[in-house]
Amino acid sequence: MSIQNNNAFNKRKYQISIIGCGYVGLVTGACLAKMLNDVVIIEIDLNKVEQINNLDLSIYEPGLTDILKDTIGTNLHITNDYSYVENSDIIIIAVGTPQTIDGKPDLSNLISVTKKLGIYLSKNIFENPIIVVKSTVPPGTTEKIVHPLINEITKDKNVICCSNPEFLSEGNAIYDFTHPDRIIIGSNDKFASDTLLNLYSEIACPKIITTPKTAEMIKYVSNSFLATKISFANEIGNICKKLGIDTYDVMNGVGLDHRINNYFLNSGIGFGGSCLPKDLNALINLAQINGETPYLLQSVRTVNDKQVEKILQLLRNHYPDLNNKRIAILGLAFKKDTDDIRESRAIKIIHLLLENGAIPICYDQYAKSNVQNIYPNLCCVDTFEDALISADACLIMNEGYDEKKLKDAFSLMRVPIVIEGRRTFIEKSIENVEGICW
């Protein structure tokens, strides 16, 4: 492994194809185009291609639309035509690797895309194309699956394969791409390493050069460690609540230790989204199939799963029978400033409330339509004030609300019982407001 802090490269413009126009592919393509590369994003879903070309995005990410306005039709193109890969310097695979029922990553999309790339690259290739696996995959996937499959189909035309995992957080992805803590390049080929160092040369951060399987493992371990910090903070929060101690005061003091820091120490309802739960489960599965029992990682998952139930327990302290109780839910996405509801704690709460006969009244600025795809008959309103009207209780599932406006709106409730899943109110001991861990 080597660390590059400053790259002595002459920045050049690359011809880049990106396979997959999901969250990672679209953000990566937009940012690389903004850096003046010629980028083609290849997506087999024609409806999605048309929507993105018309700036009708199925995802919400701050700043993304502005970049697309400036680049689509100039040096960024969205298409379903795979032939563009034949003239690419760099081909980035950014397809989803969703979780299967048993926690393993589903690599079927990755394998399908690799085969299709092999077919096109066997016809005609530019000079030494580099295939970059940006999808989150188990260690060894690039070397044991992608590279052999490409070589088999192209009949050993010297296609180089490497790993370059992404570390984008939803709601902050544009900044994360341009101001990362590090860039990980997993490659056994110096030409490929140098090419990616050149590609990212204007981004000021340490660049780690390592093996592909080490790069793939870094991604899994990073997300699993973040999940561990969250579950640790939540477990401490649960203890502090029993002792009458403000867990935020505790973690503010703990986080000032530079060896720990304050990031991901906010107690609350738990973690969700497309990365942390999936990657944690994948690492647990990876350990088990290699004969290890990952006790700590299993506990991290258990704490996260149980945290959802705690908010229902707090609600039952007020209403042992939830039948026909109107419960306002503020925040449906797994975090603020996104429309992503994958593994959202709010979705699990809605399911529990409906099971118990309650009537959820939901508000989220961005995620409303995504939730209604799951629960078509769910009542979703346009403002948080509408959700609070005549409510018997309110569950705050995400941050980002104006503290004063929200507090004033509690007067609209039939009974002003408020339970925070994320800490919204800085002021302590507000009447009728209780936190899940404070």
pLDDT in tens, 266-325: 999 999 998 999 999 999 999 999 999 999 999 999 999 999 999 999 999 999 999 999
Do 236 and 181 belong together in one domain? no
pLDDT at 156: 67
Q: Which residue matches tokens 């489960």?
A: 281
Strands 183-186 and 207-210: parallel
Residue type, 340: D
* 215: in domain: no
Confidence of residue 431 (pLDDT cuts 50, 70, 90): confident
pLDDT at 9: 57
pLDDT at 12: 82
pLDDT at 10: 64
pLDDT at 224: 97
* 217: in domain: no
Which residue from 186, 113, 136, 134 is spatially nearest to 28, judged by alpha carbons? 134
* 328: in domain: yes
**Is 80 exceeded by the pLDDT of residue 75?**
yes
pLDDT at 7: 59
pLDDT at 371: 95
What are the distances in angstroms from CA 406 to CA 71, 109, 246, 319?
39, 44, 22, 23
Do 181 and 256 belong together in one domain? no
Count of helix runs (H) and strand runs (E) in the chain: 16, 15
* 160: in domain: yes
Query: Considering 181, 210, 239, which residue would you say is the last residue of a domain?
Result: 210
Confidence of residue 6 (pLDDT cuts 50, 70, 90): low
Residues in the chain, total: 438
Strands 207-210 and 2-4: antiparallel
Q: Domain range holding 375?
A: 222-435
**In degrees, to the nearest 5, what angle opens at C-alpha 59 toward C-alphas 20 and 388?**
155
- Structure tokens given for 331: 């925040």
Do 311 and 165 belong together in one domain? no
* 77: in domain: yes
pTM (two decimals)? 0.92
Do 278 and 177 belong together in one domain? no
pLDDT at 414: 96
CATH number of the domain encompassing residue 404: 3.40.50.720
Which residue from 114, 115, 118, 116 is spatially nearest to 133, judged by alpha carbons? 114
* 54: in domain: yes
Per DSSP, the three-state class of 327 is strand
Do 191 and 262 belong together in one domain? no
Q: For 18-36, what is each residue's pLDDT tens digit?
A: 999 999 999 999 999 999 9
* 408: in domain: yes
Cα torsion angle, 383, 384, 387, 390, sign: negative
Do 30 and 97 belong together in one domain? yes
Do 173 and 233 belong together in one domain? no
Q: For 221-235, what is each residue's pLDDT tens digit?
A: 999 999 999 999 999
Do 141 and 269 belong together in one domain? no
Strands 359-363 and 326-330: parallel
Query: Count of domains in the chain?
Result: 2
Which residue from 203, 210, 179 is spatially nearest to 6, judged by alpha carbons? 203
Do 138 and 233 belong together in one domain? no
Confidence of residue 162 (pLDDT cuts 50, 70, 90): very high
* 216: in domain: no
Which residue from 130, 106, 89 is spatially nearest to 212, judged by alpha carbons? 130
Cα–Cα distance measured from residue 256 to residue 3, given in angstroms and rounded to the nearest whole number: 27
Query: Considering 160, 188, 210, which residue would you say is the last residue of a domain?
Result: 210
pLDDT at 127: 65
pLDDT at 126: 57
Q: Which residue in 161, 240, 275, 437 is the catalytic one?
A: 275
Do 186 and 253 belong together in one domain? no
**Is 60 exceeded by the pLDDT of residue 157?**
yes
pLDDT at 4: 74
Residues 35-48 have a mean pLDDT of: 96
Q: For 137-150, what is each residue's pLDDT tens digit?
A: 999 999 999 999 99
380 catalytic? Reply is: no
Do 161 and 302 belong together in one domain? no
- Mean residue pLDDT across the chain: 93
Query: Considering 161, 186, 210, which residue would you say is the last residue of a domain?
Result: 210
Torsion of CA 3, 93, 145, 193, to 10 degrees: -30
**Is 80 exceeded by the pLDDT of residue 191?**
yes
Cα–Cα distance measured from residue 310 to residue 436, given in angstroms and rounded to the nearest whole number: 7
pLDDT at 386: 97
Do 189 and 49 belong together in one domain? yes
Residues 183-188 have a mean pLDDT of: 98
The alpha carbon of 94 is separated from its chain's Cα centroid by a whole number of angstroms, namely: 13
pLDDT at 59: 86
Structure-model confidence comparison of residues 124 and 293, the more confident one: 293
